[in-house]
Chain A
Amino acid sequence: SQTIHQWPATLVQPVGSPLSLECTVEGTSNPNLYWYRQAAGRGLQLLFYSVGIGQISSEVPQNLSASRPQDRQFILSSKKLLLSDSGFYLCAWSWATGGEKLFFGSGTQLSVL
């Protein structure tokens, strides 16, 4: 069976510090991978998606970047966090055929102070 792991669950970081959130998927190969953010009081927003190793598409200009160094590993990063980066970050995967069910990680609550 497939599982998705996302860590850490919570993170408090000062403004200007770097960020690295990691997401790994087990039990499948070549998944589509996604990073979403949910800012307080707002809906989910797609940040990045990837259809393969080294293939990253960015949906919105921002202070964040994503990388996919391995088939089932997706990393969300920032060199210098901003207050506005605070929010709930979710990693998700789907099968590569597209339009399929999404499977979400447990999320990371990021507070930038």
Chain B
Amino acid sequence: KNEVEQSPQNLTAQEGEFITINCSYSVGISALHWLQQHPGGGIVSLFMLSSGKKKHGRLIATINIQEKHSSLHITASHPRDSAVYICAVVVETSGSRLTFGEGTQLTVNP
């Protein structure tokens, strides 16, 4: 069993829909990252959080440390949001190293 599990693996939505991607982990962590990988392969770090909630534009990330769960929400989705979204955790005893989920392929249709 992977230490970081994401769901769903694939998600197709219509433009304007509210989207949620979930991440569960089974280890103690010091931080959690949400990353966005574009079709060309480039990766952008969206959020790094260790508690609570962060918001940037139409993106919202939440984390519940007790439940070992994080969610990434996209409001008013747009075709340009189509990408792979990756959850990654910094395991407590690992220094700065990340352990990655398998990613969620999001496709937003116009």
Contact = CB atoms under 8 A, between A and B. Distances in A.
Interface of A: 32, 34, 38, 42-46, 49, 51, 59, 88, 90, 94, 98-104, 106-107, 109
B41 A101 contact: no
A110 B59 CA distance: 32
A44 B96 contact: no
A98 B48 CA distance: 12
Given A59-B97, A98-B96, A104 B42 contact: yes
Contacts of A34: 97-98
Given A99-B30, A104-B43, A43 B48 contact: no
Given A100-B48, A106-B42, A94 B101 contact: no
Q: Please report whether the interface of chain B is mostly helix, strand, loop or mixed according to DSSP.
A: strand
A45 B98 CA distance: 9
B110 interface: no
A107 B42 contact: yes
22 contacts: A32-B95, A34-B98, A43-B100, A43-B101, A44-B103, A46-B97, A46-B98, A49-B95, A49-B96, A51-B95, A51-B96, A88-B41, A98-B95, A99-B30, A99-B48, A99-B96, A101-B33, A101-B45, A101-B48, A102-B48, A104-B44, A107-B42
